Copies of this chain bind each other. A is one copy, B any other.
Amino acid sequence: MKTKKVAIVGASGYSGEELVKLLLSHPHAELVAVTSRQNAGQTLAQVFPKFASHPKSKSLRFVEPSAALLAQQAEVVFLALPHGVAAEFAVPLLAAGCAVIDLSADFRLKSAAIYKDFYGHDHPAPELLPKAVYGLPEVYREEIRESLLIASPGCYPTSILLPTIPLLKAGLIQPRGIIADSLSGVTGAGRKAEIDYLFCECNESVRPYGVPKHRHLSEIEEQLGFAAGTPVVIQFTPHLIPVNRGILSTLYLTPAQPLASAAEAAAFAEKISACYAAAYAQEPFVRLLEGKALPDTKNVVGTNVCEIAWRVDPRAGRLIVMSAEDNLVKGASGQAVQSLNLIAGWPETAGLI
Residues of A with Cβ closer than 8 Å to B? Answer: 14, 25, 49-50, 52-53, 179, 181, 183, 185-187, 191-195, 197-209, 211-213, 233-235, 237, 239, 241-246, 248, 250, 252, 284-285, 287, 289, 293-303, 305, 307, 311-313, 315-316, 318, 320, 322, 324, 353
A sample of 14 inter-chain contacts (CB < 8 A) reads A50-B300, A53-B305, A199-B202, A204-B243, A206-B241, A206-B248, A211-B313, A213-B313, A233-B315, A235-B313, A237-B320, A239-B250, A241-B241, A242-B243
Measured in the bound complex, the distance between the Cα atoms of B187 and A203 in whole Å is: 11
Smallest CB-CB A-B distances: 6 pairs:
A212-B313, A199-B202, A205-B298, A207-B296, A50-B299, A235-B316
CB-CB under 8 A from A315, the residues of chain B are: 212-213, 233
For A53, list chain B residues within 8 Å (CB): 284-285, 287, 303, 305, 353
- B204 & A297 in contact (Cβ 8 Å cutoff): yes
Instruction: Give the chain B neighbours of A193 by CB distance below 8 A.
Output: 193-195, 198
| Cβ A211 vs Cβ B284 within 8 A | no
- In the complex, the answer to whether A294 meets B209 with C-beta atoms within 8 Å is yes
Shortest distance between the CB of A285 and any CB in chain B (Å): 8
In angstroms, Cα B195 to Cα A318, docked, is 31
Is B197 a contact of A298 with CB atoms below 8 Å? no
Which of A207, A294, A301 gathers most chain B CB within 10 Å? A207
Complex-state Cα separation, A234 to B317, whole angstroms: 10
Contact indicator B204/A301 (Cβ below 8 Å) = yes
Task: Tell whether, in the assembled complex, residue B246 and residue A353 are in contact, meaning their CB atoms are under 8 Å apart.
Answer: no
Q: Which B residue sits closest to A293, measured CB to CB? A: B49
Min Cβ gap A292→B in Å is: 10
In the complex, besides A183-B241, A242-B242, 17 extra interface pairs with C-beta distance below 8 angstroms are A25-B353, A181-B181, A181-B250, A191-B200, A192-B198, A193-B193, A203-B203, A204-B243, A205-B296, A206-B246, A206-B248, A206-B296, A206-B324, A207-B248, A207-B298, A211-B313, A235-B318
Distance in angstroms between the alpha carbons of A50 and B299 in the assembled complex: 4
